[in-house]
Amino acid sequence: MNESGYYFPVIHNAVGIMTPFLLAAIGGLFTELTGMLNIALEGLMLTGAFFSVIFAASTGSLFLGVLFGIVITMFVALIFGLISLYLKADIFISGLATNLLASGLTVVLAFKIFGNKGVILFKNLPELPSLNIPFLQKIPLFGDIFIGHNIFVYLSWLIVIIAAVVIYKTPFGMRLRGTGYNPQAITALGLKPRNYQLAAILISGFTCGIAGAVLTLNLGAFVPNITSGRGWIALVAIYLGNKNPFGIVIASFVFGFSESFSNYAQGATKIPADFILAFPYIITVIAMIGYSIWKYYKENRKIS
Amino acid sequence: MSYLIMEGISKYFPRNQVQANRNVNLVVKKNEIHAIIGENGAGKSTLMKILYGLVRPDKGRIILNGKEVSIHSPMDANRLGIGMVHQHFRLIREFTVAENVVLGMEPKKNCLFFNRDKSVRDVRSVIEKYGFNINSESRVSDLTVGQMQQVEIVKMLYREADLLILDEPTSVLTEQEISRFFDNIRELKNRGKTFIIITHKLDEVKKISDRVTVMRGGEVVAVKETENVDQKELTKLMVGKSVLFKLKKYPASPGAVVLELKNVSLKLKRQEQPLLDNINLKVRAGEIVGVAGVGGNGLGELENVVSGLFKASEGEILFRGENIAGISASKFREKELGYVPADRLNRGSCLDSTVRENMIITKHHDFLKAGVFSQKKISVFVDNLSKSYSITGDTSAPIGTLSGGNIQKVILARELATGAELIIFAEPTWGLDVASSEFVYENILKLKRNGIAVLLISSNLDEIMNLADRIVVMYRGRITGRFLNDRSISKALIGEYMMGIRNDFN
């Protein structure tokens, strides 16, 4: 027990920190299932981060802020999708372009609006509602995991469940997966793989918009490139989670935990700070290597 | 009573400058099995893609049941009761049979969710109604090729297709699967379905169809009642000139042993039945040894082992006395060995590379000058090759833009040009038209005359009987018979060895 009121504050924080990873990865799962490597997650998230905090501050409403953030992010995703799917640009290049655009555009707009290229603080932001039940939060693990988080954390869990239902329980989800497995089979049935791919990109825009909002609204500020590689880590989480919504929850928790742990370790240990800050990224690399080895053995077993 | 009339259909593909269909008329009667035959590029597939809404015609109209219809997509075709089974299956291997069948027309639950139970039930009832032999809950990746084809047909029946288009349906099936497949087709015909079958194989046309339309060069050249024509006449119509059925064979004058397989076996881990079981084989200079068998009985494995792609579990493969079992592909290429693989699109060529690059790929080190390709050297080689093997067209175009026959010509030219002492041919004419096949045969015979050893692995028995000096028959990974190819042996006899009815070495 400590002054924060949680039994395992590291775990409690991890659950909060994992939310943007989780949201971006769930969106990315849709594009992944239709057979596309969506490297634009990072840029889409950054777009959402910037516009949601600006609109939240200017309208004074969290809801409107997030809504506009999502709409603009989905619009960027739409352009990215149209260029990649209908104008047949290489999706890797157009994804890269989306990332560069988001990174440049947000800084330029911030400078234009606020005359500042650095950190922009918003003082009059409404506070994020959160779930506080003091007597439940003291229960070890249960309290750490389920109680005391802001609304986005619970929203992200809801989105995971909806995503799982859509992917596995609806005709749309079946066609989506079919598109990734064998687009020719989809074409032969008179369906259009591109339509499902575009829908998937729009969905990734939707979740990345929220993921970005989580970052800035939580902080009450916009920092240039605030996503700092979270979109890329989300991409890793998709593979690490074995392209399964619940696997992605676990993978996202691993990344959330490593970041939470590095925050904790900075104060509590004598490990050099540089190393501690690199910890989440080291975990990413180790996780990816471990995943590849596991996958290799699993597939080899199937053959022999 | 005409059920389907396609009238004055024309289609030009500007990209490859091909008039695929020129004023084609096709009439299909209700409840008949109608075969469409023709060489590669005769326009059969284009015509069927137009009927199925995958390609839009430039001209012409389609009349179904007396009414003119327009078909813009496979969904339109399905609505009109037309279904198509492609030569290369369009299935999702990771899905179950039921999921594959209902995809695109999924039964729903609460207007929103996929109704798995109903789809399993519905698909099972279609399977049972028409007497197929698949489980609607199996995963497609666990099925045999024959069963996958059944899934494709069930997919169309689920969509209540009355007219089924089958594109080269037997090309991927084994003999046993083919006879089963024909039983299924006849059963469906008895239940009122109509079929259009595209094929190369004339014996199957005779066996299964009621009428036959012959196409050549994008046009229809004849429509016949099947019982009134024989295979010779059909061939004549198809190719438009008389074909030499009897190839000029030269007596073999075999020299030294070039290739010898000694007790070669191939066994996978945790598998009882070996894929190759104690194979002994000799190929001498100046002779053609044919290995015959039905697909799935070890021909593919023999190809892989001899060409060095699989390492034999036991035994030796001697090339001029040197053991080459399991050598790397690059070592293989350094020796005087040529290899024309069965999978000419993936293994025999690199489809995105140019014809030129494909021609030099096996010996590209010979064309280097100070570490860089000498384009002049390459051009001389490529021009020579193109001339001697009559390869027409632009050699700087990707090889994938050529027809199957021309791709095989390029591979053949490449393998023959390098001065090999032994050439391995696997299914050299699979999927090729008559003219291209003839070209391949002539070249194989020429090799023999020039004293080169040829190992011909083929499931096409006619091919083996026409070319080989000695015949080895395989069944279930074992050699069941060895013959000198003289007049004393018949196709029927070899067939009995291929089917495992006879075995000299039990």
- Are B167 and B85 in contact by the 8 Å Cβ rule? The answer is yes
Lowest mean pLDDT among A203-207, B139-143, B173-177, B410-414: B173-177
Name every chain A residue with its beta carbon within 8 A of the beta carbon of B270: 304
CA distance B506 to B501: 11
Chain A: give the shortest CA distance to residue B453, in Å. Answer: 34
CA distance B422 to B337: 5
Kindly state the percentage of chain A with pLDDT values over 70: 97
Which residue has 């372009």 as its token pair?
A: A97
Q: Residue A181's pLDDT is what?
A: 95
According to DSSP H, which parts of chain A are helical? Answer: 9-33, 41-59, 62-81, 91-114, 134-137, 142-146, 151-169, 171-181, 183-188, 193-219, 230-240, 245-268, 273-303
Nearest to A47 by CA among A93, A109, A92, A89: A109
Q: pLDDT confidence of B270, banded at 50, 70, 90? A: low
Nearest to B467 by CA among B492, B497, B442, B495: B442
Q: Is B487 left (phi over 0), alpha (psi -120 to 50) or beta?
A: alpha
What is the secondary structure of A124-154 as a DSSP string? TPPPPPB---HHHHTSTTHHHHHSS-BHHHH
Residue of chain B whose Cα is closest to the Cα of A189: B74
Q: Residue B244's pLDDT is what?
A: 45
Q: Is A191 within 8 Å of B108 when comparing Cβ atoms?
A: no
CA distance B177 to B169: 11
pLDDT at A214 over 90: yes
Q: Is A169 within 8 Å of B108 when comparing Cβ atoms?
A: no
CA distance B197 to B210: 11
pLDDT at A300 over 80: no
Average of per-residue pLDDT values in chain B: 87
Task: Give bridge partners of residue B178 from the DSSP assignment.
Answer: none
Nearest to B345 by CA among B415, B401, B418: B401
Question: Nearest 10 degrees: CA dihedral of B451, B355, B89, B201?
Answer: -50
Q: Is A178 within 8 Å of B108 when comparing Cβ atoms?
A: no
Q: Which of A170, A174, A184 is opposite residue B99, by nearest beta carbon? A: A174
Q: Are strands B113-114 and B163-167 parallel, antiparallel or unpaired?
A: unpaired
pLDDT tens per residue, range B180-190: 899 999 999 99
CA distance B133 to B481: 33
Greatest Cα pair distance, chain A, in angstroms, is 64
The backbone torsions φ and ψ at residue A186, rounded to the nearest 5 degrees and listed phi first, read -65, -45
Q: pLDDT confidence of B57, banded at 50, 70, 90? A: very high
Q: Is B112 within 8 Å of A178 when comparing Cβ atoms?
A: no
pLDDT at A301 over 50: yes
pLDDT at A46 over 90: yes
Q: Residue B242's pLDDT is what?
A: 42
- Whether residue A300 lies within 8 A of chain B, CB to CB, comes out as no
Q: Mean pLDDT throughout B178-199?
A: 91
What is the secondary structure of B276-343 as a DSSP string? EEEEEEEEETT-EEEEE--TTSSHHHHHHHHTTSS--SEEEEEETTEE-TT--HHHHHHSSEEEE-S-
CA distance B489 to B494: 8
Q: Is B114 within 8 Å of A178 when comparing Cβ atoms?
A: no
CA distance B389 to B410: 8
Residue from A166, A176, A181, A182 whose CB has the most chain B CBs within 10 Å, to mutate: A182
The backbone torsions φ and ψ at residue B288, rounded to the nearest 5 degrees and listed phi first, read -110, 120
Q: Is A182 within 8 Å of B93 when comparing Cβ atoms?
A: yes
Could you tell me the two tokens for B455? 């190992």
Q: Is A182 within 8 Å of B268 when comparing Cβ atoms?
A: no
Of A275 and A87, more confident = A87
Name every chain B residue with its beta carbon within 8 A of the beta carbon of A188: 74, 84, 86, 90
What is the secondary structure of B24-74 as a DSSP string? EEEEEETT-EEEEE--TTSSHHHHHHHHTTSS--SEEEEEETTEEE---SH
Of B474 and B173, more confident = B474
Nearest to B21 by CA among B215, B251, B261: B215
Q: pLDDT confidence of B389, banded at 50, 70, 90? A: confident
Q: Is the ipTM of this complex over 0.90?
A: no
Could you tell me the two tokens for B223? 């429509």
- Whether residue A141 lies within 8 A of chain B, CB to CB, comes out as no
Q: pLDDT confidence of A83, banded at 50, 70, 90? A: very high
- Are B114 and B69 in contact by the 8 Å Cβ rule? The answer is no
pLDDT tens per residue, range B442-482: 999 999 999 999 999 998 888 888 899 999 999 888 999 99
Element (H, E) at B109: strand B108-109
- In chain A the first and final C-alpha atoms are separated, in Å, by 52
Q: Mean pLDDT throughout B382-393?
A: 86
User: By 3-state DSSP, what share of chain B in percent is helix, strand and coil, each rounded to 5?
Assistant: 35, 25, 40
Residue A110's SS3 state is helix
The total of other beta-carbon atoms located within 10 Å of residue B282's CB is 17
Q: Residue B267's pLDDT is what?
A: 84
pLDDT at B192 over 50: yes
Element (H, E) at B506: none
Chain B: give the shortest CA distance to residue A196, in Å. Answer: 12
How far does Cα A240 stand from its chain's mean position? 14
Nearest to B317 by CA among B254, B362, B265: B265
Q: Which of A165, A178, A304 is opposite residue B95, by nearest beta carbon? A: A178
Q: Are strands B163-167 and B194-199 parallel, antiparallel or unpaired?
A: parallel
Degrees, nearest 5: CA angle A71-A72-A78: 90
Domains present along chain B, CATH in parentheses: 2-239 (3.40.50.300), 244-336+420-506 (3.40.50.300), 351-419 (no CATH)
Which residue has 């002539």 as its token pair?
A: B442
CA distance A283 to A289: 10
Q: Is B108 within 8 Å of A185 when comparing Cβ atoms?
A: no
Q: Residue B248's pLDDT is what?
A: 60
pLDDT at B94 over 70: yes
Name every chain A residue with its beta carbon within 8 A of the beta carbon of B77: 190
CA distance B151 to B144: 11
Of B320 and A302, more confident = B320
Q: pLDDT confidence of A303, banded at 50, 70, 90? A: very low
Residue A163's SS3 state is helix
- Are B504 and B482 in contact by the 8 Å Cβ rule? The answer is yes
Of A46 and B88, more confident = A46
Residue B91's SS3 state is coil
Q: pLDDT confidence of A295, banded at 50, 70, 90? A: confident
B409 to each of B6, B400, B404, how far by Cα in Å? 35, 13, 9
A160 to each of A18, A24, A165, A199, A254, how far by Cα in Å? 13, 11, 9, 17, 17
Q: Mean pLDDT throughout B97-117?
A: 93
Q: Is A185 within 8 Å of B91 when comparing Cβ atoms?
A: yes
Q: Mean pLDDT throughout A45-53?
A: 96
- Are B106 and B115 in contact by the 8 Å Cβ rule? The answer is yes
The backbone torsions φ and ψ at residue A98, rounded to the nearest 5 degrees and listed phi first, read -60, -45
Name every chain B residue with its beta carbon within 8 A of the beta carbon of A171: 106, 108, 114
A153 to each of A121, A130, A236, how far by Cα in Å? 23, 9, 20
- Whether residue A28 lies within 8 A of chain B, CB to CB, comes out as no
Q: Mean pLDDT throughout B367-396?
A: 89
- pTM, to two decimals: 0.74
Q: Mean pLDDT throughout A84-105?
A: 94
Q: Residue A148's pLDDT is what?
A: 83
Greatest Cα pair distance, chain B, in angstroms, is 77
B257 to each of A226, B155, B203, B292, B338, how far by Cα in Å? 73, 53, 37, 20, 16
